[in-house]
Structure 1
Amino acid sequence: MTFNDQVIEEFRHGKGGMSEGWKLILLTTTGAKSGKRRTNPLGYLEIDGMTVVVASNMGAPAHPGWYHNIRRDHRVTVETRSETYEAIAAVPPAAERDALFAKIVAEEPGFAEYQAKTTRELPVVILHRIDERVRGLGDFLVEVHKWLREELKSLRAGVDDVVAGRADALIMEKSLKAHCVSFCEALSKHHAGEDMGAFPMLAQRFPALAPVLAKLGEDHVVVAATQKRIRDLVEGYVHGESDPVRLRDEFDDLAGTLEAHFAYEERTIVTALNVTAPG
């Protein structure tokens, strides 16, 4: 039995032993290479209401294995002496990291000694508990998606009216053009906000999300191209001359692309957004 195994055994059975007097948690991560679940006993601190750990590796030249793991998969399990819960591990940006590390050293000066022993900067990691009761930026994203879905559904119904020749054609076309412009502008603004704000922030805090965010960014390019085709068709639409079926097909293409994009985004980043404070 290794030293870590012995500490874990004593911790889980409520014994003192080697962990006596330590403020410990057990952090279980997924191996970056093996894909297997790995558990490590770690000292932790509560800083500004957050559970914080330091990838000190006791001042060794290399980062500990668990830190490499959370950069590949940010989903972790945290065990305290009284409960076990799921969390996601965030790497704060430089300024926030430095402020946190200063507070850590003020409470536990030993971490300053570890930093002095190595040329690498000791990473600070925040463990955010996943709590379904807490609403955050991720829930706001879902609400925006819901609104965009309804707007697109309404637009599609307007296209059906044009195709079927219902009501006054000129009034319907004018209304459709105005609605299409407002929808396209809202969707473009939403995606630009993600590309310039939410996605870079998530990439910095949750390195494991890099491939997900890259795919979402690629989706935005595809959506923008479809939007442009639709907008060109709508703005150039002439009753009796333009093909309404082509317009309907393009809307169907946009609806399918957007639904797949929204569903993937909601599966992959909502939790991370919910534990990330705005600003």
Structure 2
Amino acid sequence: MTDAGFDFNAFQRHVIEEFRANEGRVGGPFSGADLVLLTTIGARTGKERTSPLGVLVIDGTPVVVASAMGADKHPDWFHNIRRNPVVTVETGTETYQAVAAAPDGADRDALFARVVALEPGFGDYQDKTTRRIPVVTLTRIDDGRAAWARGLGDFLVEAHDWLRAELAGLRRQVDDLIAGGDEPLHAGRPGLGHEMRTHCLEFCAALKLHHTGEDRGGFPMLAHRFPGLAPVLERLAEEHVVVARLQERLRALVDSYEPGRTDLARLRSDLEDLATRLEEHFQYEERTVVSALNTLGPAPDFS
């Protein structure tokens, strides 16, 4: 509540309710205005946040402006898209996902000039602040399932699920070693430790291949099609480097495995660390790029 007794959050909730109840039409100060509801993921909270915003369509692309009515700070929703650029857009008659991008430099200036030509009030807002008001484009993500049953994003999730299952199996093998100890070779049959080592090396090779494919194939294609995903792709690439270090530490420990000598508690701890990091990585990747990947092509068919 402000000093003047105006509850901005309550006002926004009322606008959102009216928007959804009347197919995007809102009265009062927004009567006749073209609005969208933009749902972002909170940069700090990870929770969904919905904001009603004026929208312009320039060269067929919806554009919103982080004006905050000329305030000296960027609105919260803009901070959110810088961390999580995949957003949900409601027009009143349809809802779709989009990638939000804020061009810099001359590109921003040219786009802002076109915005002001259509809506001079945004120029007045810029005159009120030294803050360079961002302009945000919303590139629609079309699912792709109309063209193919399984897309590249679905294939990504399937690969993650396979890696999750393999890692869970590897952790069970180490638990068995801790519980019962390793057995020596019996008539040429490898002991549990040997099976664990083989399984671990195969898993690490598969994970490395998966991440190499993303870095050299999937991520460049996404960056070309959806430039607004750049911060997401940079974060994912950095996480690949961290995971690779964890893999090397794990491989070194497994390669030197000796029954009765290797510190199995440390091995289990390293596995748990890798599993935790990977799950966080997989979940973030699935939340941010799966829908976009599904637009790029069908999943490969290995049948």
Question: Do they fold alike, i.e. is TM over 0.5?
Answer: yes
Partner Cα distance (1:19, 1:2) in 2: 17
Partner Cα distance (1:110, 1:155) in 2: 60
Distance 1:217 1:204, change over 3 A: farther
* Structure 1 residue matching 2:33: 3-state secondary structure: coil
Distance 1:167 1:22, change over 3 A: farther
Mark the runs of 5 or more structure 1 residues left unpaired by the alignment. 234-241
Aligned AA (2:36): I
Bigger shift: 195-204 or 182-191?
195-204
Partner Cα distance (2:137, 2:183) in 1: 56
Distance 1:119 1:170, change over 3 A: closer
Partner Cα distance (1:249, 1:74) in 2: 40
Q: Partner of 1:186 in structure 2?
A: 206
Counterpart among 3, 14, 24 of residue 35 in structure 2? 24
Identity of paired residues, percent?
Answer: 30
Distance 1:142 1:46, change over 3 A: farther
Counterpart among 56, 60, 82 of residue 93 in structure 2? 82
Bigger shift: 269-278 or 109-118?
109-118
Q: Partner of 2:66 in structure 1?
A: 55
Counterpart among 254, 257, 260 of residue 230 in structure 1? 254
Matches within 5 A, 1:87-126: 87=97, 90-91=100-101, 98=107, 109-110=117-118, 114=122, 120=132, 122-126=134-138
Matches within 5 A, 1:1-279: 11-14=19-22, 17=27, 18-29=29-40, 37=49, 39-45=51-57, 51-56=62-67, 63-71=74-82, 78-83=89-94, 85=95, 87=97, 90-91=100-101, 98=107, 109-110=117-118, 114=122, 120=132, 122-126=134-138, 138-149=153-164, 153=169, 163=183, 165-168=185-188, 183-191=203-211, 198=219, 205=229, 218-233=242-257, 242-243=258-259, 246=262, 252-253=268-269, 255-277=271-293
Partner Cα distance (1:203, 1:167) in 2: 59
Q: Partner of 1:236 in structure 2?
A: none
Mark the runs of 5 or more structure 2 residues left unpaired by the alignment. 1-5, 298-303
Partner Cα distance (1:150, 1:7) in 2: 46
Give per-residue Cα distances to partners, 1:70-105, cap 9 Å, x unaligned.
33565755432235x57465336769x949x97897
Aligned AA (1:123): V
Distance 1:222 1:204, change over 3 A: farther
Contact 1:138 1:269 in 2 (8 A): no
Q: CA deviation at 1:270?
A: 0.3
Bigger shift: 110-119 or 138-147?
110-119
Contact 1:223 1:257 in 2 (8 A): no
Bigger shift: 166-175 or 143-152?
166-175
